Structure 1
Amino acid sequence: MTEHTANTALRLRPPAHRVSRRAIGYWTATAAILWIVLVGLQTVIVVTSDDPPSFLTVTLVVSCVLAPLHLLVMPQWRYRVHRWEVTDEAVYTQAGWLKQEWRIAPVSRIQTVDIERDPFEQLFGLAKITVTTASAAGPLRISGLAHDRALELADELTKTTQAVRGDAT
């Protein structure tokens, strides 16, 4: 490793790779389900109640305004923010939309690599990778990866981790 590589390899920086574009649809669909349930419950109460509380009518109107805005803005914003990168030295992640988090984990600290897919992720052909490290900050998660890319990345991380000497503590 050159001196330049050693000095820049583990600095916190924006990771190079974006998640799959299909993540936009996934984030939109999962948020839409929550909004439908919320607006639906509010609507049922307002429509079926003889004297609905005025605050509930106000929250229903607010929900009907915020829901489409959230569904238009949030998935696009998250897509622009969510990034990942794996090098021989570290795993870099960047996630969030209102609260953004940048994480870096040296490969020598990796303990496990897991792939997970909930039913909606399966519908969208997506997966998430969880990289557990010997860190009190908890595992790194890379969400919104194309399933095939997640499998390749897990294989790559496993090989890289096995090649690094140490006990990941």
Structure 2
Amino acid sequence: DWNSIIHAFCKAKRVENGKRIFRRMVFLQYEANQQTYLSLINGYMSCDKYFEVVVLWKEFKDKKAKLDHALADAFLNAMVRGGFFGTAMQVIEKCQEMKIFVDRWRYKAAFMETQKNLRLPKLRKKKMRKIEFLDAFKNWVGLTTGKSLKETNTRNFSSDVSCTFMASFGLKKI
């Protein structure tokens, strides 16, 4: 059984072998199911390869496969922990289309746990589009401050605006 082999490789943190088996399975025209994707996502998360989960989401979305609650939960958890908020918003939109319940509190807690060490200089260096995705995700989970990042000039912070902005992200002044 293909799923058992993929699961065993991913559990042993040999995700590259699991990915190779997955590619062979697709090449031989076997249909991947939710268990296959869950095993790969959990394997990538255990190895901190969050970008690979983004690639897996793109493949999943292109196949137009059926998304269920457990799979949506796994994708979202990986996206939030990896900091891929644009892709996380795509998963959220897909869940809303398919009327799948998404627990905002859980992802708010995951965001606060994994992204609490974001620093303001790192945010300034990133592209504005990525910051907009972060702002959209924060609005979705309920971490709004009243000011959007578009309205705030990231180059000319006064001390009050800077402190408010950094506090809204849970950031520390350097």
TM-score, normalization: structure 2? 0.25
Greater fraction helix: 2
Compare relative contact order (CA 8 Å, sep 6+) and give the higher one, 1 or 2: 1
TM-score, normalization: structure 1? 0.26
- Which structure has the larger Rg over C-alpha atoms? 1
